[in-house]
Structure 1
Amino acid sequence: MDNDSNFSGNSSSRIHNLIEDLGDESFETRNEALMTLKAMLPASESSISSNLVEIISGHGDDGAGSNTSFVNKGAIELFQGMTELGLEPLVNELLRKGDVYARRVAVDALGRTGRMAVLPYLIASMNDDDMYVRWQAAKGLGRYAGSNDARDALLGGIDDTEPYVRKRVARSLESFGGIGPKDEKIEGPMEDDGEGDIDGDGIKDSDDEEPRIANNEEIDYNAMTVPQLKKALKEK
């Protein structure tokens, strides 16, 4: 019994050390650690997942080129090879309890799996306070082209307060029928006298065949067909 306990403890310690090596400055060390951890899946899936979540939770910001960014990159790749059991700590600890940096990693990793089981979490993340979490959620939802729920969630993000997110939403909607990224136009009401240029194309509203829809008019995106959506996004 003691031998089993020691073996389990040694294995967990080794996994922890390997995950720490994912953040090493040396590419060779990082790559060797990643390959070793991958080889330990699925047998050590639960332990690897728990250790990844623990380390990610304590690292915080992940500026480009930092040790944290290397760990997060390796973690995201490892989560792709895990079953739903291995993804549970990702949802229960990082997504539900983690700080903004942890949630970004969690949504990025979940979105890359393309599994139906994680779809509800991506949809919920479209309402996250952090725009980068919403961006990752929108990116992930683009992998669910056959899902009406995913499409509806993306449509709900068309009017996101952040242009960064709106463009990602439009890009993801391409997989649902060809909606491309919309151009950001100048905000403001349409001029009553028709002399304004609400869409900024150099044509007066009175002469423009497709002037931008006034801000006080509500658009029912859900009732539109894909071609209508594409046209509406380009006009917006």
Structure 2
Amino acid sequence: MTDASKPPVPEGAEDLERQGIVVLITTLRDDTDPAVRRYAAYLLGRSKTPGSIMPLIAALGDDDKSVREQAMLALVATGKAAVEPLTESMKDPKWETRYRAAEALGKLADEKAVKPLLRGLHDNRDHVRYMAAKGLAVVGDSDAVDPLIILLKDENPFVRTMTTRALAAIGGTKVHTAIRAALAEEKNEQVRAAMNEALQ
């Protein structure tokens, strides 16, 4: 069985795999090659060591997109111990960090992820609002219904589409009424398609 989260193996990977947590953390923080940093994040995720959580949290703001994604996957692999640090990361000044934190919280689908994801719906960056809505679609908490209904009028059509899917995942009469009302005013074809699907 293959590991779907395993990144491309960089040169020197065998040496890296023999290293302990301290060296992996240093590599994740300091190596100039994004492929090496990414592989270090992957190995830290496999270790499931509590001491690797904060370095991985820091890597959510890495300059390289692939490293940020791998750090997110590694934190998900770490499990529930990552929920609280990820919750704090939803307040980070960098939207990239908040985006990946929201993604991880959604994938972890822990009940403690609901509140930070709800806060993410009000983020000033549309990427974060999108990912918070996506996470709530997985968690499926009824407390998310009213905040999500507000987002049916978000300025970004991708956010409106994901919001519709999140509401459909939760379901209920209130959700159907809100989506039907939003559909009457929606002009974007992609969003309309998602709304029509949700109402079926």
Could you tell me the TM-score, scaled by structure 1's length?
Answer: 0.60
Could you say which structure has the greater relative contact order, defined with CA pairs below 8 angstroms and 6 or more residues apart? 2
Q: Give the counterpart letter for 2:184 in structure 1.
A: E
Structure 1 residues 154 and 17: alpha-carbon distance in aligned structure 2, compared to 1, 3 A threshold: same
Q: Give the counterpart letter for 2:71 in structure 1.
A: A
Q: Is the 8 A contact 2:76 2:82 kept in 1?
A: no
RMSD over aligned Cα, in angstroms? 2.8
The 5 A counterparts of 1:145-164 are: 145=140, 147-164=141-158
Deviations 1:67-109 (A, max 9, x none): x1111111111111224333333222x2223322211111111
Could you tell me the TM-score, scaled by structure 2's length?
Answer: 0.70
Between the aligned residues of both structures, percent identity stands at 24
Deviation of the 1:225 alpha carbon: 3.5
Name the larger-Rg structure.
1
Pairing partner for 2:90 from 92, 95, 102: 95
Count of residues in correspondence between the two structures: 166
Unaligned runs of 5+ in 1: 1-9, 61-67, 179-223
Partners of 2:83 and 2:175 lie apart in 1 by 34
Deviation of the 1:126 alpha carbon: 0.7
SS across alignment from 2:77: coil
Partners of 2:29 and 2:149 lie apart in 1 by 38
Equivalent residue, structure 1, for 2:9: none
The 5 A counterparts of 1:179-190 are: none
Equivalent residue, structure 1, for 2:22: 12
Deviations 1:195-234 (A, max 9, x none): xxxxxxxxxxxxxxxxxxxxxxxxxxxxx63443342232
The 5 A counterparts of 1:1-236 are: 11-17=21-27, 24-25=34-35, 30=38, 33=40, 36-41=43-48, 44-45=49-50, 47-57=51-61, 59-60=62-63, 68-92=64-88, 94-145=89-140, 147-177=141-171, 225-236=174-185
Structure 1 residues 105 and 120: alpha-carbon distance in aligned structure 2, compared to 1, 3 A threshold: same
Higher helix share: 2
Unaligned runs of 5+ in 2: 1-19, 186-200
